[in-house]
Amino acid sequence: MTSRSAPRPIGVLFTNLGTPDDTSVPAVRRYLAEFLSDRRVVDLNRLLWLPILYGVILALRPKNSAASYRSVWMDEGSPLLVYARRQVERLQKRVDAEIEQPVHIALAMRYGNPSIEAGLRELDAAGCKQVLILPAYPQYSATTVATTFDKIGEVLADWPEPPQLRQINRYHDEPAYITALANSVREHWETNGRAEKLVMSFHGIPKRYVKQGDPYPRDCGITAQLLAAELGLGRNEYKVCFQSRFGREPWLQPYLDQTMKAWGKAGMKTVDVMCPGFSSDCLETLEEIREENRGYFEEAGGDSLRYIPALNERDDHIDMFTQLIKRELSGWI
Ligand SMILES: C=CC1=C(C)c2cc3[nH]c(cc4nc(cc5[nH]c(cc1n2)c(C)c5CCC(=O)O)C(CCC(=O)O)=C4C)c(C)c3C=C
Ligand SMILES: [Fe+2]
Ligand SMILES: [Fe+2]
């Protein structure tokens, strides 16, 4: 520091995927159009994909998706955004208490609002010349993390003096993250007892992306192994599955929906399902797991699928983010 004036604040851009602004069909269509036009998400040739996207998907899907969003919407808005806001609010308090230098945390979503541009402008207005990017995805995938960095680069390409940047690519094996996950499972077991199996369900991606080099399933496997070891689970006591398949090509397997149907049919009575890849509850956990997959399991003969909530604004989750930020800011603070 060359000047003796008050130190400049350091910025943290805390990001997640994004969600529609409301549950109307036009708002969901707007969100899906932005999301599904991203080449990192759907990499098909534009001449092939855009007619399918605009002619078929955006004509049909928003109506069903809007109904699903309505079933999970909270008084304050979309769960993903509500939990992300709470995380940032709590994290800001913790960072203020633990780091002497001012650190300003801004929330931004890759698609929709608050946008990446709005988040970067908020940090700029606060005087941040150094910014740490923290995508709230524990496991790296080009479809989530890389596209966030792409968007930040795209926005900053128009700025005369972009801030100095650092980025966090993943935190899939952070001891504090594994501990927080294990705590959430143990608390669930204390209240509900233990089901016959614990399922760790991760969002899927097309297998083809993995063949092209996306390391995402490796990150998921490491999280799962560390968590199983922390909980003392044997190989037959848990299973890793992948959910949220989209389109016709093969995605990562085993598929959660097929597993739930098969287990219900085979006579299993209870199953606990958690989603260690989702830092916040959202449509994919609250609707797809707690409603849709519970239906598959129970209709096939199971008694109950019990969903273990995401880490959301838990203290141990905020502790983990605080530790991560402190470590990644070393040399700046
Ligand atoms: C089309 C391909 C998709 C890829 C690849 C993909 C990867 C991916 N997504 C998440 C996290 C989330 N996805 C969410 C919703 C969602 N995902 C897709 C498609 C792909 N995701 C769609 C079309 C949707 C929208 C909902 C729907 O219409 O079914 C969400 C929830 C958003 C919310 O508003 O609550 C999250 C979170 C990860 C982690 C990931 C790759 C690892
Ligand atoms: Fe997704
Ligand atoms: Fe889904």
**Residue-wise pLDDT tens digits, 236-253:** 999 999 999 999 999 999
DSSP conformation class of 7: P
d(CA 321, CA 314): 11
- List the strands of the sheet with 270-274, edge to edge: 238-243, 197-203, 270-274, 304-308
- Ligand 1 pocket mutation, candidates 16, 17, 110, criterion most atoms within 8 A of CB: 17
Helix (H) / strand (E) containing 14? strand 10-16
Whether the predicted pLDDT of 316 surpasses 70 = yes
For 102-125, the pLDDT digits (tens) are 999 999 999 999 999 999 999 999
Q: Is the CB of 141 under 6 A from ligand 1?
A: yes
Whether the predicted pLDDT of 222 surpasses 80 = yes
Is the Cα dihedral 289, 36, 86, 141 positive or negative? positive
Residue 168: half-sphere exposure toward Cβ, Cα within 13 Å: 27
**The CATH classification of domain 10-171+315-328, taken from the options 3.40.50.1400, 3.40.50.300, 3.40.50.970, 3.30.70.20:** 3.40.50.1400
- Ligand 1 pocket mutation, candidates 246, 281, 289, criterion most atoms within 8 A of CB: 246
- 10-171+315-328 and 175-308 agree in CATH topology: yes
Helix (H) / strand (E) containing 80? helix 79-98
Task: For ligand 1, atom 29, name the residue with the nearest CA.
Answer: 65
Write down the architecture of domain 175-308 according to CATH.
3-Layer(aba) Sandwich (3.40)
Task: For ligand 1, atom 17, name the residue with the nearest CA.
Answer: 244
Strand partners for 271: 197, 305
Judged by average pLDDT, the poorest of 2-6, 26-30, 256-260, 301-305 is: 2-6
Q: For position 1, what pLDDT does the model report? A: 47
Q: For position 137, what pLDDT does the model report? A: 99
Whether the predicted pLDDT of 3 surpasses 70 = no
3-state SS string for 106-129: EEEECCCCCEHHHHHHHHHHCCCC
The percentage of the chain sitting over the pLDDT mark of 70, rounded to a whole number, equals 99
Q: Is the CB of 65 under 6 A from ligand 1?
A: yes
Task: For ligand 1, atom 19, name the residue with the nearest CA.
Answer: 246
Q: For position 118, what pLDDT does the model report? A: 98
For 43-82, the pLDDT digits (tens) are 999 999 999 999 999 999 999 999 999 999 999 999 999 9
Assembly ipTM:
0.98
Which numbered ligand comes closest to the C-alpha of 275? Answer: 1
Whether the predicted pLDDT of 277 surpasses 90 = yes
Known binding site: residues?
A: 203, 284
Atom of ligand 1 nearest to the CA of 61: 28
Strand partners for 132: 12, 166
Query: What's the mean pLDDT in 34-49?
Result: 98
- Ligand 1 pocket mutation, candidates 15, 283, 289, criterion most atoms within 8 A of CB: 283
Report CA(244)–ligand 2 centroid distance (Å).
7
**Would you list the domain boundaries of the chain?**
10-171+315-328, 175-308
Whether the predicted pLDDT of 4 surpasses 60 = no
**Backbone phi, then psi, for 265, in 5-degree steps?**
-70, -35
Q: How confident is the model at residue 6 (pLDDT cuts 50, 70, 90)?
A: confident
Q: How confident is the model at residue 7 (pLDDT cuts 50, 70, 90)?
A: confident
Q: Where do the DSSP E strands lie in 24-149?
A: 103-109, 130-135
Q: For position 41, what pLDDT does the model report? A: 98
